[in-house]
A and B are shown apart, each in its own frame.
Chain A
Amino acid sequence: MTKISRRSFNALVGAAGALSLAGGLSACSSGPRVVVVGGGFGGATAAKYLKRYDPSLDVTLIDAQASHFTCPFSNTVLVGMNDMAYIERKFDKLNTMHGVKVFTDMVTAIDPATKVVKTAGGKTFEYDRLIVSPGIDFKWNAIEGYDEAASNVMPHAWKAGPQTVLLKKQLEAMPNGGLVVIAPPGNPFRCPPGPYERASLIAGYLKKHKPKSKLLILDAKDAFAKDKLFKEGWEKMYDDIIEWVPAAKNGKVTKVNAKDGTVETDFEKFKPAVANIIPPQTAGQIAITAGLADKSGFCPVDPNTFESTLAKNIHVIGDAAIAGDMPKSGYSASSQAKVCAAAIIALFKGEKPLPLSAINTCYSLVAPDYGISVAAVFAVKDGKIASIPNSGGVSPMGANYQFRKKEADFAVGWYQSICQDSWA
């Protein structure tokens, strides 16, 4: 997202520019200072649980936006199941209920030597420990022609907000009989089942409102998260709408042209009515700027504390971190945040940090009444975060309607709970 589109979006939804929530319960915070960069699932949960585990800590959360639009459930917004307000999370309860100081500002620099964070608004924040939870940014031009400007024509919608609104409008405006292309990236990327949930819900929308239309998934991979389950659902419900083209069948998009609206693989050229290009990703820009990422574009961390292996006293959590078997999901970020919060408190006390115990549970909607899930529990093995054997995994194949409906209901319950647990 460009700064301009962010600003105009803020203006659109009426969110104020500079805002700080620095009063509230924070008066009793005389302990060590923790600054948290980013108010998504990772950052918000970290700030809340730091105060929960040790109310004496002085905790500050800084996010560039006045509120956070979650990627989970943003696919339901695209097809009109929910509105933007449904996925908007505000930071006020972190302050009023938990005593976190909240600032709306963009962190532009981190100095590990002096332990200072600087912002675009000209503020400086000193920390004893820093948590960086910036989510992702995009590798512009990794797909030829797909730069930030092109994303305003062919939205990625892989950060929720104005991009979500843009893609929704394009879907509404496309003609019956038009082609939708979704182009998911290769691994690793944010929310591995996300593109396929999106394809499912959009196919459901097309089936109902524009039944002559087609949806083509041009994939950079040959396999994807929950793929057997998605394909089972697609065969039942969207057989004449969705076509998935794997990399092995030249599905990978190599070039786009935002001017004439074309999308190309090595062998074919398409002119879709709607092109949803999800480009390859890196850790959020501030993590790159601060030198926290390695050659992969993501951030190596200690598996028990999430402290950067490249910078002392700085912890990286969520999508930006290299976290072994843990997928880049909101639940992972939130679970990592709790482990990280506990570790930071132990480190302040000079104690040995506890071993990691974390969970990922993630639901996808194949239709509004058809949910599927993946779950795993994690511990550290041989220095890496690993799923615990003989547990976890995906929903069963061949389950009946009641089972899928129950998981769809749990998907909504999941969303309500994790938003409460992270921001309230």
Chain B
Amino acid sequence: MRGFPVTPVLRLAFGLALAPLALVGTAHAADQVAVMADACSGCHGTDGHSVGGMPAFSGKKADELKKVLHDFKSGAREATVMDRIAKAYSVEQLDAIADYFASRKK
């Protein structure tokens, strides 16, 4: 699962091209990164728009998200559950997830 292409801008454009006007901004292609990242949305809300007490990703920059995820994986950042989850992914996968959420509509 390492080394898949990470092209958030292109992917977003593709998603927009497919979507009818009414749904622009919510639709996107179901590629490998989307499937991997969308698994996070159960806790963090669709597109990272958390509606409750879970941290939201909307408005966060990719680099900021990457650092947090790397630190969860290494244990440098204190966590309740994210340390356990981040360890399951490679650094490349965490970066792709961060790019994905940073590219989603705010």
Contacts and interface: CB of A to CB of B under 8 A. Distances in A.
Interface stretch (A1-9, A48-56, A253-261, A265-273): A48-56
B53 interface: yes
A327 to B, nearest CB: 14
Contacts of B35: 338-339, 342, 354, 357
Contact of A413 (B1, B26, B54, B84): B54
A25 B46 CA distance: 19
B81 interface: yes
A375 B39 CA distance: 12
Interface residues of A, number: 52
Nearest to A388: B88
Given A55-B20, A335-B42, A420-B45, A413 B85 contact: no
Nearest to B87: A391
A244 interface: no
Interface string B35-56: 1101111111110011111100
B87 A390 contact: yes
Contact of A28 (B20, B42, B54): B20
B34 interface: yes
Given A373-B81, A391-B85, A395-B80, A54 B18 contact: yes
A201 B81 CA distance: 22
Interface string A373-417: 101110100000000101111010000000100110110111111
B30 A342 contact: yes
A94 interface: no
A416 B53 contact: yes
By secondary structure, the B interface counts as loop
B8 to A, nearest CB: 16
A28 B38 contact: no
B57 to A, nearest CB: 11
B10 interface: no
Nearest to A358: B39
Contacts of B39: 335, 338, 357-359, 377
Contacts of B88: 376-377, 388, 391-392
A54 B14 CA distance: 12
A375 B84 contact: yes
Interface in B21-79: 22-23, 26-32, 34-36, 38-46, 49-54
Interface residues of B, number: 39
A54 B80 contact: no
Contact of A53 (B28, B54, B89): B28
A263 interface: no
B13 interface: no
A25 B52 CA distance: 27
A410 B51 contact: no
B32 to A, nearest CB: 5
A191 to B, nearest CB: 15
Contacts of B19: 55
Contacts of A359: 39-40, 42, 85
A54 B26 CA distance: 10
A28 B21 CA distance: 10
B87 A410 contact: no
Contacts of B87: 390-392
Contacts of A420: 45-46, 49, 51
A418 B42 contact: yes
Contact of A392 (B20, B31, B52, B84): B84
A158 interface: no
A421 interface: yes
Nearest to B89: A377
A407 B54 CA distance: 10
Contact of A421 (B18, B27, B29, B46): B46
Given A55-B19, A361-B43, A409 B53 contact: yes
6 contacts: A51-B27, A55-B20, A98-B26, A331-B42, A361-B42, A417-B43
Top 7 A-B pairs ranked by shortest CB distance? Answer: A416-B52, A413-B53, A377-B88, A391-B88, A342-B30, A53-B30, A391-B87
Interface of B: 1, 18-20, 22-23, 26-32, 34-36, 38-46, 49-54, 80-81, 84-89
